[in-house]
Structure 1
Amino acid sequence: MSRTSNRADGDIVRDFLSVADLLEEPQLAQLYAYLTREGEATVQDVIDDLELAQGTAYSYVNRLVDAGVVGVTHDEQPRRYAAREIDLTVTAAAGDREYTITPALIHAVGRRETNADIDTYIDRHGVAGLTTALTYAVARERGEVTHRLMAEDLDISPLAAEMILQALRPVVHEHYETGADVSHDTQEGVNE
């Protein structure tokens, strides 16, 4: 991937490849999610908060800057960095499905390193499957679906659906307004 192309023209291929890097490397996704959450941070903040070695932190931040998904917000020392908004829609080869890559999805992928349920789900269903699960997780938190409905729709076990919905819950609450007045337990009891 070229690290020198100009973003001024909105190079879509470069944007896609940059996002693909985030989706393939959970550590980069975790750093991007951190910067999205914090608004902006220094490399020292990254070292302290994510418990990364100094060389690793600098390397990751520089890779994200080179990829164009993180920018320098304050050029004086210490430099401050912020995540750039990502909202990229990809159409499947058959043209029958579209997947939108957002900071919430990147955050979910970043949790793969620390959440075995997300890791297992990605191994079994890929990032596209995680994208679909995230959509269901948002709907669940809004009281619109249950884990049983998700399981039926996606042809997975109700236990697998419940596990991924629970694993994605913190991501949903951080990135989406759910507005649900009903807890899961109450809602699921109503819909069963």
Structure 2
Amino acid sequence: MSQPATPADGDIVRDFLSVADLLDEPQLARLYAYFDREGAATVKEAMVALNLSQGTAYSYVNRLVDTGVVEITHDEQPRRYVAREIDLTVTTAAGEYTITPALIDAVGRRETDDDIDTYIDRHGVAGLATALTYAVSRERGETTHRLMADDLDISPLAAELILQALRPVVTEQYAIDASGGSLDEIDPADTASDA
């Protein structure tokens, strides 16, 4: 017998459905990510930054406000909007992953980055969440594309491509130096002294 829904359960379902829209529509995810990165911003600023038409921008902002993932910071004109923090853990048959603003940002780049688009097509959003975790570790210098490839049973090339594609997301969303984990920046003289 099912348990009656509580107000907290309703909040969880509403949050999940709101986030599901972001993961399903890359343009909504891009707009959410813009407000998350910029803090309080106007629709006009978002239109210019994301190259959106006025009608599309206002329609998307209204949808994000209606679902509760973006809030109006004040009612004076022009209105400013800010993204609400999202931290939702989802359990699927493929495993458990957490939906964060960084993951939503990565999904939003799907339309403009073929490597992210291909990776999502092959591994789903859950796979992208896992790749994002590896991308953070890579930028911190804690892992390499080869270790990721071995762990996930994908080719080293596929691992390198998605890590490079996710690099801008990591450097914008996390407090990590952009030069953190790239193997391209290791001085060969440093490795010669280890031999």
| Interval containing the TM-score (normalised by the shorter chain) | 0.7 to 0.9
2:4 matched to which residue of 1?
Answer: none
1:85 matched to which residue of 2?
Answer: 85
1:36 matched to which residue of 2?
Answer: 36
Distance 1:148 1:74 in 2: 48
Distance 1:72 1:14 in 2: 19
1:115 matched to which residue of 2?
Answer: 113
1:149 matched to which residue of 2?
Answer: 147
Shift of 1:74: 1.4
Equivalent residue pairs, number? 182
* CA 162–49 in structure 1, closer or farther in 2 if over 3 Å, else same: same
1:26 matched to which residue of 2?
Answer: 26
Shift of 1:76: 1.3
Distance 1:45 1:122 in 2: 29
Q: 2:157 aligns with which of 141, 156, 159?
A: 159
* CA 117–48 in structure 1, closer or farther in 2 if over 3 Å, else same: same
State the secondary structure of the residue aligned to 1:60.
helix
Q: 1:137, 1:169 within 8 Å by CA — same for their partners in 2? A: yes
Matches within 5 A, 1:175-186: 175-178=173-176, 183-185=182-184, 186=186
Shift of 1:9: 8.3
Structure possessing the higher radius of gyration over alpha carbons? 2
Q: Aligned-pair RMSD on alpha carbons? A: 2.2
Shift of 1:98: 1.6
Q: 1:140, 1:184 within 8 Å by CA — same for their partners in 2? A: no
1:49 matched to which residue of 2?
Answer: 49
Distance 2:85 2:37 in 1: 12
Unaligned runs of 5+ in 2: 1-6
* CA 182–31 in structure 1, closer or farther in 2 if over 3 Å, else same: closer
1:139 maps to 2:133: no
Unaligned runs of 5+ in 1: 1-6
Distance 2:187 2:25 in 1: 36
1:11 matched to which residue of 2?
Answer: 11
* CA displacement 1:127-151 (0-9 Å, x = unmatched): 0000000000001111111101101
* CA 181–22 in structure 1, closer or farther in 2 if over 3 Å, else same: closer
1:129 matched to which residue of 2?
Answer: 127
Provide TM-score, normalisation by structure 2: 0.87
* CA 14–74 in structure 1, closer or farther in 2 if over 3 Å, else same: same
Aligned letter for 1:85?
E
Provide TM-score, normalisation by structure 1: 0.88
State the secondary structure of the residue aligned to 2:27.
helix
* CA 157–187 in structure 1, closer or farther in 2 if over 3 Å, else same: farther
Distance 1:70 1:92 in 2: 26
State the secondary structure of the residue aligned to 2:97.
strand
Shift of 1:45: 1.0
Aligned letter for 1:123?
D
State the secondary structure of the residue aligned to 1:71.
strand
* CA 114–148 in structure 1, closer or farther in 2 if over 3 Å, else same: same
